[in-house]
Chain A
Amino acid sequence: MTITLYAKAAEELRGNEDQWRAYESAGNCAVLAGPGAGKTKTITVKIAKLLGEDVRRPRRVACITYSNACVGELLTRFRKLGVGEDDRLLLSTVHSFCLTELVLPYGRMAGVDLPDPLVVASTAQSRDAFQEAYKRALGGQPPKWYRTEFDKLRRTIVDRDSTEWKTWPTRETEVVTAYDALLLERGFIDFDGLVLTGLRLVENHEWIRRAIRAKYPIIVIDEYQDLGLPLHRMVLSLMKKVGVRIIAVGDPDQSIYGFTGAKPERVPELVEG
């Protein structure tokens, strides 16, 4: 029997007990380690193994990461393992996952108010809408620090029906509401909007969770610490409610995108699942 490329690469993981355990894991799995601990290597070899042994067409594995740069990095490694062009692997940023796997196929069917055609707003378009929303809600120009606070609020309190949202200072919530309305009016959705919509679709609809599970019985998430509360909730919902197998890799001490509303301490929550 020929030794597969990933089996050969896996030999290098054998020496490290944690890496080996992650490689051999058969269920949900969270890998927590600092920089330089070989997380990316572990995860790519693990995915190659999943493709080689666990996943049968027409079902697939989704590998979600934060940015296009991360996608490029992972792709290079997958090519070396001989699975770079495997169509059973969806390698995607969180935004493009939400767009192509959730918002586009299911948004309208689930009754979400979406612009038609759906256009993702550029940074400039988003900034413009933000300033206009601020003006409409509060008048005048937003102070420089306001955008960060605004993004954080929008990402952390996802449910607009929740007490938390309702009791939050209306000065702040009103800007978010105005922004969402304005964006829709102008025919846009923004990056955060994609993830928030994706989350609502997954949390509110059993049939969407089942569709995702059918297509992606295994979802691997890289750079988990950077992906924020909405994705975290989406992952929990898929894992706990329909049993999607989750493999997450993150650095508990490092969140370069710390301001995005990501909380590193969430990673361990997964392990219990």
Chain B
Amino acid sequence: MRLSRIIIKNFRNFKSLDVRLGEHAVVLGENKVGKTNLLFALRLILDPSLADSLRRLRLDDFWDGLPRPLTADDAIEISVEFRDFEKSENLLAVLADHLVKPEPMVARITYRFQPLPGLKEAPRSESDYEFVIFGGDRPDNAIGYDLRRWMPLDLFPALRDAESDLARWSRSPLRPLLDRASRTIDAKAMSSIASEVHKTTSKIADLPELSSVVDEVNDQLITMVGSKHAVETALGFVPTEPDRLLRALQLMIDAGKRGVSEASLGSANVLYLALKQLEHQYLVDEGERQHTFLAIEEPEAHLHPHLQRLIYRNYLQARAEAEPPREARSILLTTHSPNVASVAPLSNIVVLRRVPGEEHTIGKSLRGVKLEPEERDDLERYIDVTRGELFFSKGVILVEGDAEKFLLPALAKLHDPDLDFDALGITVCSISGTNFAPYLQLLGPSGLDIPFAVLTDFDPKGEAVSQEDADPDDEGVGTSYGKNRVVNQIMVHLINSDEWPSLAFADVLGRAKKHGVFLNDFTFEVDLFKAGAEDEFAEAIRGLTTNTKMHERFDELAADPESIDPEQFLKDIDSLGKGRVAQRLASIFLSHGSDVCPPYIAAALEYMKAKLA
């Protein structure tokens, strides 16, 4: 089973959130965006350990933007939908009364905090409100503890204390495991062990030096409260009744030398998660519950980055998309850790983002973004390598290769001091000669909906340099460069598919800039050179190679930029490595304060600036 959709209206940060989820959910968002509130919304419906008194919300819990005083029509509503449960008879038995769609089955549970029905006037105080939880589309189909018991949400909160939970028997995830194991222990054997323990313990306590301590304590107690109220104390390690003896068992670390309380916070957290995993499986095996939603706030807390990636990669392991989830457990993580984000399968990503100027939070997920398997692999690899940077971006500039990636931040800052990419949260993302399409899906309105611009080459890498314009009537041919590429590989993803067939090639091309797609005249380096960077190129080449022939060529170019032979020029740069040249150029630009921004890049920067304004 999986939690497939969350809809929230008028609750805390959320005016109207509607987000679809994959098998697990990795919820990303800045501080204060509402990650904890999202989890609390789910707890209202699914957490059996949440007291009903907390299910009664308060007037403060209404979204702040809702005009006050509240009217009789204002209600807080939280709905969750479930899918992929119908193969389990037990889960179907739990959810059969709450279906909203039959094939495939979708069940929905709704929590509502609403004015009492039949109020004569507008609600004025909290006592005019009630909460209801119901299944399906039927408000009279009330839901109580049972559902939460069968498919509970188990929260591992941000301010957790894994260590003390491990130490306290009643909360320890070790308890059910030991309980199960102890069922088969022979009672006689157990009680003889208990008496052995008792005997040994007594030997220590009976040492005269120690027994006098006990006498002293007991005397003091009697002096304080009199013999009637004083409890009699004795020294011992563990209770000696067989049942209690088991409960006194503790997990030890370092081959039994130290208790868990001495473990690092990190190890305690790992241990806790491992035990929880076993506990959940145990509870399902025993028929105590049918599914667990394990919510972990700040899963990165106390964990070394490598460990974060290792643990959560394993937790969130992608299964084949077509295969319905088998595990009786779903994971919900709320985090701003790039390490956790970067190992999550794309379909599990949920990004929470504040809508600028409207003071509420929306959610965007990548469930339902249509990608070919290779494209998905490419993207996941990119995101893994870049530590999920894209997910946290406010704006993205997609470029062809590393050269642009290295140079763009410098070009932008020198062109317009306001354009500090780090401060603005702008990421330059290199598609490294692959296809723009999957990135457009990821960033586009049906994906994360992050503002983006595309910088593309008229002449892509490796093509013959002198590329006269292709036949202007050459429509729809899948050649992969220049205007064709813009139209048939980029714009096709950005223009409404209803409108697409009616548009001529030139129409589409004409709209490119409006959609943030900017094409240069040649290729990045050539355009940069022509923007007046001839001296900087010469300086860079001088610093990168001892090839005097090349020095001469670039010196001549600096003296007479018009004489450029793009083929030779690019060959030289390629021989040194485009990336190396770009890095060197970036530091030269910065040290000279050169504003040499090619027009197509300047246009893209303007576009991005306007989008983020």
Contacts and interface: CB of A to CB of B under 8 A. Distances in A.
A108 B150 CA distance: 27
15 contacts: A58-B90, A58-B94, A59-B89, A104-B138, A105-B97, A105-B138, A105-B141, A205-B102, A207-B102, A207-B103, A210-B92, A214-B89, A214-B92, A214-B96, A215-B96
Given A58-B290, A207-B105, A109 B99 contact: yes
B92 A109 contact: no
Contacts of B287: 56-57
B93 A109 contact: no
B97 A58 contact: no
Interface in B96-143: 96-97, 99-103, 105, 136-138, 141
B474 interface: no
B287 to A, nearest CB: 6
Contacts of A207: 86, 102-103, 105
Given A58-B150, A207-B105, A105 B99 contact: yes
B99 A106 contact: yes
Contacts of A59: 89-90, 93
A213 to B, nearest CB: 7
Contact of B86 (A60, A106, A210): A210
Interface string A186-218: 000000000000000000010110111111010
B102 A58 contact: no
Contacts of B141: 104-105
Nearest to B94: A58
A103 to B, nearest CB: 12
Given A105-B136, A105-B138, A60 B102 contact: no
Interface in B72-91: 86, 89-90
Interface of B: 86, 89-90, 92-94, 96-97, 99-103, 105, 136-138, 141, 146, 150, 287, 290
Interface in A52-81: 56-60
Contacts of A58: 90, 93-94, 146, 150, 290
A55 to B, nearest CB: 11
A110 interface: yes
Contacts of A106: 99, 102
Interface in A72-95: none
B138 A215 contact: no
A72 B287 CA distance: 32
Contacts of A212: 96
B1 to A, nearest CB: 13
Contacts of B96: 105, 211-212, 214-215
Interface in A201-256: 205, 207-208, 210-215, 217
Interface string A102-138: 0011101110000000000000000000000000000
A109 B102 contact: yes
Q: Is the interface of B mostly helix, strand, loop or mixed?
A: mixed
B100 A109 contact: yes
B362 to A, nearest CB: 29
A244 to B, nearest CB: 11
B88 to A, nearest CB: 8
Interface in A147-191: none
Nearest to A104: B138
B103 A215 contact: no
A79 B287 CA distance: 26
Contacts of A217: 89
Contacts of B150: 58
Interface of A: 56-60, 104-106, 108-110, 205, 207-208, 210-215, 217
Contacts of B99: 105-106, 109, 211
Given A59-B89, A215-B92, 14 more contacts: A56-B287, A59-B90, A59-B93, A105-B136, A106-B102, A108-B137, A110-B102, A207-B86, A207-B103, A208-B102, A211-B99, A214-B90, A214-B93, A215-B97
A39 B539 CA distance: 104
Contacts of A215: 92-93, 96-97
Contacts of B101: 109
Nearest to B85: A214
A47 B136 CA distance: 30
With a 10 A CB-CB cut-off, give which of A58, A60, A106, A210 has the most chain B CB atoms.
A58
Contacts of A56: 287
Contacts of A210: 86, 92
Contacts of B290: 58
A213 B100 contact: no
With a 10 A CB-CB cut-off, give which of B92, B94, B150 has the most chain A CB atoms.
B92
A178 to B, nearest CB: 30
A90 B102 CA distance: 24
Nearest to B103: A207
B283 to A, nearest CB: 13
Contacts of A104: 138, 141
Nearest to B97: A105
Contacts of A208: 102
A13 to B, nearest CB: 30
Contacts of B93: 58-60, 214-215
A106 B99 CA distance: 8
A104 B105 CA distance: 17
With a 10 A CB-CB cut-off, give which of B90, B96, B101, B287 has the most chain A CB atoms.
B96
A59 B290 CA distance: 12
Nearest to A212: B96
A241 B96 CA distance: 18
B440 to A, nearest CB: 37
A148 to B, nearest CB: 35
A175 to B, nearest CB: 33
A182 B100 CA distance: 28
Contacts of A110: 102
Nearest to B101: A109
A104 B97 CA distance: 9
A211 to B, nearest CB: 4
Nearest to A205: B102
A146 to B, nearest CB: 37
Contacts of B103: 207
Contacts of A60: 93
A56 B138 CA distance: 27
A205 B287 CA distance: 29
Nearest to A87: B146
A207 B96 CA distance: 10
B102 to A, nearest CB: 5
Contacts of A108: 137
B84 to A, nearest CB: 14
A7 B136 CA distance: 40
Top 10 closest pairs, chain A to chain B, by CB: A214-B92, A211-B96, A214-B93, A207-B102, A58-B93, A214-B89, A59-B93, A215-B93, A58-B94, A215-B96
A210 B85 CA distance: 12
With a 10 A CB-CB cut-off, give which of B97, B141, B146, B150 has the most chain A CB atoms.
B97
A238 to B, nearest CB: 14
A109 B92 CA distance: 17
A238 B10 CA distance: 43
A59 B92 CA distance: 9
Nearest to B150: A58
Contacts of A213: 89
A105 B105 CA distance: 13
Contacts of A214: 89-90, 92-93, 96
Nearest to A216: B93
A42 to B, nearest CB: 27
A246 to B, nearest CB: 17
